[in-house]
Structure 1
Amino acid sequence: MTVDEINQVLAEADLLAGEAEVSAAVVRLGAEITARLKDANPVVMCVMNGGLIFAGQLLTRLVFPLEVDYVHATRYGHKTSGARLNWTVRPQLDLQDRTVLLLDDILDEGITLAAIAEHCCRQGASRVLTAVLVEKLHLRKVTPGMRADFSGIEVGDRFLFGYGLDYKGYWRNAPGIYAVKGL
């Protein structure tokens, strides 16, 4: 893609949630997670690359002891769809008998989050919870009725970017949650 094409995607996109709405969702999630996990001594694990911005903003809102780790597993790369889960980095901390909180940008179909959660369970985690900035509301979840334990913003079934979500590798840094025109 050329820079002009990339800029055109943002120019034509629909803004679904602006900076103020996203910030309010992060503050709310921080309070909800703190209330539930303040005594759990969890491992809070960022799912890269999408979860980076969300995790960075949320971590300072979690007012309790925790350890931070990250994983990098993806189905997409710079594409808009994917199939097989590719691991770049697996958890580094010992998860045995620990509560794990996975932080990711979005719960769409849930294939990636479910696979990472299963991996954490195989590594001995006592429980795995998920927190996502955006949750898409549709019926194509890997497990019928699947929901995140903590969800910031719920949206319809469109192709999104911004605040960690990307469009072909671009616009993770967009200051809001946008939907690509026509998708």
Structure 2
Amino acid sequence: MTSQTHPLAEALSQSDVLFERAQLEPVIAGLGQRIDQALQGERAVFLTVMNGALMFAGQLAFAIRTDLEFDYVHATRYRGETSGNELHWLREPVADLKGRTVLLVDDILDEGHTLKAVRDDCLTRGARRVLIATLCRKRHDRLVEGIDSDFNGVDLPDRYVYGYGMDYHEQGRNLPAIYALR
């Protein structure tokens, strides 16, 4: 599916703006303060889930005052398909997680399959605890058991969303707002 098959301009004309950047910035600042309180000065591993969390993670990192060690992961269950089960690593964490707190940062908690698999992998690698920070979470009843955000910015309706790191057929990640198709 290419941008020619799914033009971003057409999607934007058929979408609603849910949150503008100006609305999200104070929300992210508040998440940073809450994370500082939870870490209580502990130097955690800030583990960004690529590609979607890149924009949010950068802003969140600046909002956290506690010193952090940075790493990232890139994992997928889909491998170009619309569904999948087995986690496929494109890049595993490099930082030593043993005995550490991991702050797992992702753009969205939708159903949670991939995020749960990455969280469980961090624990298998010896993380003492994994705290999950998401920019947004969809409101629906399809969330897999045993996963949720410890820190979440905004809740979204159960619609196709994109922008602010989330993509519309690999386009629009750098849009400075969260959009939802009508």
The aligned length equals 179
Please give the secondary structure, in 2, of the residue aligned with 1:158: coil
The amino acid across from 1:28 in the alignment is G
Match in the other structure for 2:136: 134
Gaps of 5+ in 2: none
Which residue is equivalent to 2:159?
Answer: 158
Quick one: distance in 1 between partners of 2:83 and 2:108? 15
Relative to structure 1, is the Cα distance of residues 68 and 2 closer, same or farther in structure 2, using a 3 angstrom cutoff?
Answer: same
Q: Deviations over 1:14-37 (max 9, x none)?
A: 111111111121111111111111
43, 46, 52: which one pairs with 2:45?
Answer: 43
CA contact (8 A) 2:6 2:169 kept: no
Letter in 2 for 1:164: G
TM-score by length of 2: 0.92
Out of 28, 31, 34, the residue aligned to residue 33 of structure 2 is 31
Q: Which residue of structure 1 lines up, in the alignment, with residue 148 of structure 2?
A: 147
Cα deviations by residue, 1:50-86 (Å, 9 ceiling, x for unpaired): 110000111011101110000001234566x321332
Query: 130-139 or 29-38: which moved more?
Result: 29-38
Cα 1:168–1:78, aligned 2, differ >3 Å: closer, same or farther? farther
| Residue of structure 2 in register with 1:69 after alignment | 71
Indicate how the Cα distance of structure 1 residues 4 and 122 shifts in structure 2: closer, same or farther if over 3 A, else same. closer
| CA distance in 1 between partners of 2:115 and 2:107 (Å) | 10
Tell me: CA distance 1:65–1:83, structure 2 relative to 1, closer, same or farther (3 Å).
same
Offset of residue 99 of structure 1 = 0.3
Helix, strand or coil for the counterpart of 1:60?
A: helix
Q: Which residue of 2 aligns with 1:58?
A: 60
> Secondary structure of the residue that 2:171 maps to in structure 1?
coil
Any gaps of 5 or more consecutive residues in structure 1?
none
Letter in 2 for 1:151: N
Paired letter, 2:149: A
Say which SS state the counterpart of residue 49 (structure 1) adopts: coil
